[in-house]
Structures are given as structure tokens and as C-alpha cells.
Amino acid sequence: MSNETNFTLYTKEGYQQLLDELAYLKDVRVPEIKVQLAEARSHGDLSENSEYDEARDAQAKCYARIAEVEDLIKNAKIIDESELKDDVVNIGSKVKVYDETFEEEIEYVMVGSNEVNAAMNMITDRSPIGSAMMGARAGDKVSYTAPCGEVHLKILEVSRAKKN
């Protein structure tokens, strides 16, 4: 069971984004950088060639990101959303809450780590608020610690977030 904590949960869409990014980096970005390096080399003296230095930096960043994405893929666990209960908060859930601390209703979508988008209220199960809501049902009250202090939420609705 301790091996499970090494995995990161993803929706099918989130996992596909990782695969797409890896393919782009390997099939498009790496060849582009090779062309940039070859062109920069053709300008002569590499010791004072800023184009060459920039291309080498881009190459290093690209290979670092490839390694990072490959590691994410290796440690990914894809959630089969069809096996999840619609009324329990999990990855792929849309959760409407009433924030008792700030007296407002908010709707969140629980997503995998690489899908997080705070501006669209897409949060991960590893965030403080996401962790507090995981496994909750409508009517449950949960709380988490934020920089402003303890925040209390009442779960109003839980449904599956369907992506079109």
C-alpha cells in the first residue's frame, strides 16, 4: 500500500496531455533545437556566440522537461471515472461548496496534478482544500488550514465533471 503514495492520480484527459507534451517535445522541439544549434555553429567562434548559448540552454531545458514528463508518466495512475461513485468527491468530480469562513458558494473541479488551473477552480487532491474534500459527500462539512487560518466548507453538491 505504501507504493500507492508514489503514484499521482490523473484523469484520462490529464494523462493524455502528458503523452501529447512528451510527443511534442521529442518530435517537434528537439529537432527544432538541433537546427538552431547547427545554424549557430555555422556562425563560427562558439565562445562568443550568444545564439549558440541560447540554443544550448533551450536544449538543456527541453531534455530536463522530457525527463520530468517521462517520470510523471511512469508514476501516473489513471482514474477510471466510470468506476467512481458520482456522489463522492474524487478526481474528476465537480464539487459545489459553501465556504462558511468567507460566506460564499464556490464550484471546484478535482483534477490530476498536471491539470491544475486555479483561475478555473481546477484543483488537485494534493492541495489542502482538495485533500480535505476527497471522499466527502453532499452535506458533509470539511475544513483545511490556509494562510488566512482555518477554512470551513459545507459540501453542497458532488457530480462527475464531464469534459466535452
| Span 14-30, pLDDT tens digits | 899 999 999 999 999 99
Q: What is the pLDDT of residues 55-70, one digit of tens each?
A: 999 999 999 999 999 9
CA distance 54 to 40: 9
Q: Among the CATH numbers 3.30.930.10, 3.10.310.10, 2.10.25.10, 1.10.287.180, which is that of 2-78?
A: 1.10.287.180
81-160: CATH number: 3.10.50.30
Q: pLDDT averaged over the chain?
A: 88
pLDDT the model gives residue 5: 57
Band (pLDDT 50/70/90 cuts) for residue 113 is confident
Using a cut of 0.85, tell me whether the model's pTM lies above it.
no
Please report, for the chain, the start and end positions of each structural domain, with discontinuous segments joined by +: 2-78, 81-160
Nine cell digits for residue 80: 477510471
Residue 43 has phi, psi (to 5 degrees) of: -85, 0
